[in-house]
Amino acid sequence: MTRYALFSIVLFLISCQPDPNQVAKVVPFFDLEAFFQKEISEMPAEQSAEKKITLNGKTETKKLADWAASQELEGFKEFNINRPAWHDQYQVDSLRNMEGTLEGIRYMALDSSLRIRQLDIDWAPSGEISEVRVEKFSKNMVVYFHQKLRYRPGKGYWLWREQKVPFTKRSELEVEVSY
């Protein structure tokens, strides 16, 4: 009889476990990785664009007939702050209009050791995302690194980076792409 009781208990416990395919993924913050994946999948494989690069004050502008947006935007996924360890590491502030429609969200790092210091998402009145802004910063004995990104769906992006490594000059890079 104990075998049957033990078997019944085990069977009951197993049947009470939720189906892993039906468990919803909890995303505490705006899923920037999924946003950029969607942007990449909806863009043509190659398109024309104008790219302006300024490195330490010297500017070069190129018109690209076959700009591969997916390759460049792939790197923007690294700015995603949806990590379980960061669940309570950002202060969240939202902006709503008079009708209660969401116009913007700001995530600000509460801990200065977090590299992604700020993430801002703005929505247009149509409900589409109009702009994403990210600020990333890290400083230690080896490197000083400060980076800002502004992405506008369907228009382009702007990226600025400042970097200083011991025994080298400060380096500043600015990239602006419009399509």
Judge whether 15 lies within some domain: no
The pLDDT of residue 28 is above 70: no
Domain assignment of residue 102, yes or no: yes
Which pLDDT does position 178 carry in this prediction?
A: 95
The pLDDT of residue 29: 84
pLDDT in tens, 130-175: 999 999 999 988 899 999 999 999 999 999 999 999 889 999 999 9
More confident residue, 52 or 24: 52
Q: How many domains does the chain have?
A: 1
Residue 17 lies in a domain: no
Task: Give domain status of residue 74, yes or no.
Answer: yes
Is residue 3 a part of any domain in this protein? no
In a domain, 14, yes or no: no
Domain with 39, as residue range(s), is 30-178
Split at pLDDT 50, 70, 90, the class of 22 is: very low
Give one DSSP letter per residue of the chain, joined into a string: -HHHHHHHHHHHHHHTSPPTTTSPPP--S--HHHHHHHHHHHS-SSEEEEEEEEETTEEEEEEEEEE-HHHHHHGGGGG----GGGTTSEEEEEEE-TT--EEEEEEEESSTT-SEEEEEEEE-TTSSEEEEEEEEEEE-SS-EEEEEEEEETTTEEEEEEEEE-TTS--EEEEEEEE-
Q: Output the pTM of the full model.
A: 0.79
